[in-house]
Amino acid sequence: MTVRTIAVGDFLANCLVAWKNAQALVIDPGDEPRRIIELLDAEKLTVACYLLTHGHADHAMALAELARARPAPVALHAADAAWAFERPNPVLPFHPSPARPDAIARLLRGGEEFTDAGMRWTAIHTPGHTPGSVCYHLPDEGLLFTGDTLFAGSAGRTDLPGGDAAALAASLRKLAGLPDATRLHCGHGPRTTLGAEKRDNPYVRAALARR
C-alpha cells in the first residue's frame, strides 16, 4: 500500500492519497486541487472515496472542485456536515467557507465500515477538535488517519467553536486502545506511531492518566 502526503494551503494541511491498485482514497483535500489531480494523473489513479476527518476549511476547500473533476462518494460525520459548508467556518478570516459538494453520500455517525479500492476502513468518531471529528482506521494495513485529533507530540486545539477539551481527552483514550504499532498519518506535520504517542505525547499521557 502506498500513502502520499501533499501539504496544502496556508496551514499546510496534509492531504493524503492512499492506494493499493488503480483506485485511491483521498483524505482531507484541503486546498490546491490542481496538485492533487496532478498526483492522481501521474499515478494513473481514479478516486474511490473522499474521506474528510472534520469540517474545517483547511481540510475541505478543494473537495467540491475535486469531486466534480473526479467523481466519487464523500464521507463526513453528520455533526460537521451541518456547518462545514456554511458561514462562518471557524478558520476565518484565512479561508472562506468551502464550496458544498454535490452530495455527501456517506453521512457518518461513527462505527461504519466500508471497503473501497481493496482497503477496509472504519470511521472512529473522535469529537473534541470539532463535534464531528473522525479518525479513519485501516486495520488490515495498520494505519490510522487522525486528522486534527492527534499529532506527533500534540493534539487538536479545542478553543475554536465546537471544541471540547474533555471530549478530546476521551477520544485520545479511545484511540489508545488500538495496537501500539499502528502508523498514524496526521492532519498536519509528520507521521508517527500510536506507541510513540502513548509514550511521549503529553496530551495522550494526560488523557490516559484521567481514566
Closest CA to 182 of 151, 147, 154, 141: 141
Closest CA to 80 of 92, 71, 89: 89
What domains can you pick out in the chain, each with its CATH number? Answer: 2-209 (3.60.15.10)
Sign of CA dihedral 188, 198, 171, 181: positive
Amino acid identity of residue 155, one-letter, is: A
CB 74 within 8 A of CB 67: yes
Q: Would you write out the chain's pLDDT as a tens digit for each of its 211 residues?
A: 999 999 999 999 999 999 999 999 999 999 999 999 999 999 999 999 999 999 999 999 999 999 999 999 999 999 999 999 997 786 766 778 899 999 999 999 999 999 999 999 999 999 999 999 999 999 999 999 999 999 999 999 999 999 999 999 999 999 999 999 999 999 999 999 999 999 999 999 999 998 7
pTM, 2 dp = 0.96
